[in-house]
Structure 1
Amino acid sequence: MAPLKPSWKQPSHPDVQQVVVSGADFMTKSLSKVTVPPFGLFVKLEFPPCTLANEPTYATVQMGKDEHLNLNSDLLYINHSCEPSLHFDMRNMKIVAGPKGLKPGDELTFFYPSTEWSMAQPFECFCGKPTCKKIITGAKDMPSQLLDGLWLNDHIHELLDEQELLQHHGSLAENGGLGLLRRGITSRELSGEMGGDTIAKA
């Protein structure tokens, strides 16, 4: 991410996050300063500093079907990865460690389509992970096989279900009622691993 002119006091999360600023576009990154167990709490999303956004931008995070959030903090410098170290759990307004947990020095990343339904600026991913999706768009425009098995927020699952239902009705009209509806794992099922007993203790 290119350096921004922050409106917030920096560093905003000095106990948990180190921002490594780069002069190159989209190369600023964040590193963990803490150890967090798998699915343990990294940080809560609180108001303030968060505010509701009037419209989505490249600097907002989607928190519902039609709701978007300004992070107003260094959390904005958490980049995308196809195998992320963090999950933005927007239903519970918290950021949690991924299935491998976190240790100091790990890069802080999340899977953008896990929160974003539509993105104005799709981009080529250079995360280098074995499961890299190559081109990152909002979940709306990604092939279903690229999202299968990944942790997604509830609002993304709901929008995918609505999209699939519309496609299903179209296929029913075309083939005389022989269309089949696929149902994948929901974020509620996957987030069962993220209950209160997994919260990291200070």
Structure 2
Amino acid sequence: MAPLTPFWSQPSHPNVQKVQFSTEKDFTTKSFSTISLPPFGFFAKLAFPPCTLADEATYATVQIGREQHMNLNSDLVYINHSCVPSVIFDTTSLSILAGPSGLRAGQELTFFYPSTEWDMAQGFSCFCGAETCRGFIKGAKGMGKGALEGVWLNAHIRGLLEERDAVGNGAVGNGAVGNGAVGNGAVDVSSSAVDIPAPAPAPAPTNGNSNGNEHKTEIANGDSNAKNEVDSMQFALHSSLQQAELLVSAAKHALATYISHYSKPAPPFSLAPNGVGSREMSGEMGGDTCNEKGVDGKRRGVTSREMSGEMGGDTTAVSCE
């Protein structure tokens, strides 16, 4: 594919991003953060415009739904892939967030491409150098469960993975095993279809009598199907629970980080002596004790001086006559 030619005004995000364009020594264009953020802090909005929906997936688009892709049309396109990314592309909120470890000024901006891409138009070999490097990257479709554990995945990717794994974990139709990815690597078993012979028909009962084996077989098959359905549901619920626990843990960490950096301790609560209470200010204890002429030696209510604290709120009641 032809290299991307910027047509937008550059720099497009100077407040948060600095782009380092490729040179003769370094052929890779990179971008770096100019700000520091706590875990999952907001970095940039994927706004429309400049973003636009794409007619088809290319190496420069970002997938935002099962069949939807968008053009970034900004310097955000220079955020490269890493198996240990520094930011997250959240396609649900159309936002870029700091990763679970936060973001430092000067840190390279990277995100995990399979977190948004199901089947990339152009794969590549990753050279991030991380211990957990996945090697060849071509989207989440060809990656096993182990390769996707512990990383942020968008909702459309999780939905597609659940459908793929449901087929690969025992949903057999027309004698062919589904195209599920297995193990920790990217394994495609679509070319290894296995023909399963149909079971021989059960012998017809003699003299209208049956020994009950047919009924037992039906029950066993029913139990097996029910167990498969329960196992699939259990796995899905367990995966959802794991993600929820990760989000809760990350949110707690983000809150603690925010409080330690930005929050100021509240002053100790104390009561001022002889102050004017809310009931006294409303007249409940002072403004409803006089008659219409203001007699009977009772107070008319709280004066402005009392409310300001000048007289302490404890003035002596005098006759109104």
- Is TM-score (shorter-chain normalized) higher than 0.5? yes
* Pair 1:75 & 2:94 matched: no
Please give the alpha-carbon distance, in whole angstroms, between the structure 1 residues aligned to 2:27 and 2:157: 25
Q: Higher mean Cα deviation, 40-49 or 176-185?
A: 176-185
Please give the alpha-carbon distance, in whole angstroms, between the structure 1 residues aligned to 2:18 and 2:239: 34
- Structure 2 residues not aligned, in runs of 5+: 179-194, 197-220, 263-321
- Which residue pairs with 2:145 in the alignment? 144
- Which residue pairs with 2:190 in the alignment? none
Cα distance, 1:102 vs structure 2 = 0.8
Q: Which stretches of structure 1, 4 residues or more, deviate above 6 A after TM superposition?
A: 171-176
Please give the alpha-carbon distance, in whole angstroms, between the structure 1 residues aligned to 2:35 and 2:53: 28
Cα distance, 1:137 vs structure 2 = 1.6
* Residue aligned with 1:95, SS: strand
Cα distance, 1:185 vs structure 2 = 3.4
Within a 5 Å distance, the mapping from 1:49-198 to structure 2 comes to 49-168=50-169, 169-170=171-172, 177=225, 180-181=231-232, 182-183=235-236, 185-186=239-240, 189=244, 190-191=246-247, 193=250
TM-score (norm 2): 0.56
Please give the alpha-carbon distance, in whole angstroms, between the structure 1 residues aligned to 2:67 and 2:162: 16
1:82-136 CA-to-partner distances (Å, cap 9, x unmatched) read 0000000000100000011111110000000000000122211100111111111
* Pair 1:15 & 2:15 matched: yes
Cα distance, 1:161 vs structure 2 = 0.6
Cα distance, 1:144 vs structure 2 = 1.6
* Residue aligned with 2:62, SS: strand
Cα distance, 1:23 vs structure 2 = 3.3
Amino acid at match of 1:14: P
- Structure 1 residues not aligned, in runs of 5+: none
Please give the alpha-carbon distance, in whole angstroms, between the structure 1 residues aligned to 2:130 and 2:60: 24
* Residue aligned with 1:155, SS: helix
The answer to whether the 8 Å contact 2:58/2:122 transfers is no
* Residue aligned with 1:185, SS: helix
Amino acid at match of 1:5: T
- The answer to which structure, 1 or 2, has the higher relative contact order (CA under 8 A, 6+ apart) is 1
1:133-160 CA-to-partner distances (Å, cap 9, x unmatched) read 1111210011221001211000000000
Please give the alpha-carbon distance, in whole angstroms, between the structure 2 residues aligned to 1:43 and 1:157: 23
- Which residue pairs with 1:32 in the alignment? 33
% same residue = 53
Cα distance, 1:4 vs structure 2 = 3.1
Cα distance, 1:191 vs structure 2 = 4.6
Structure 1 or 2, whichever has the larger Rg, is 2
Cα distance, 1:3 vs structure 2 = 6.4
Amino acid at match of 2:62: V
Kindly tell me: are residues 48 and 188 of structure 1, through their superposed partners in 2, closer, same or farther at Cα, counting changes over 3 Å?
Answer: farther
Please give the alpha-carbon distance, in whole angstroms, between the structure 2 residues aligned to 1:103 and 1:185: 31
- Which residue pairs with 2:274 in the alignment? none
Kindly tell me: are residues 188 and 146 of structure 1, through their superposed partners in 2, closer, same or farther at Cα, counting changes over 3 Å?
Answer: closer
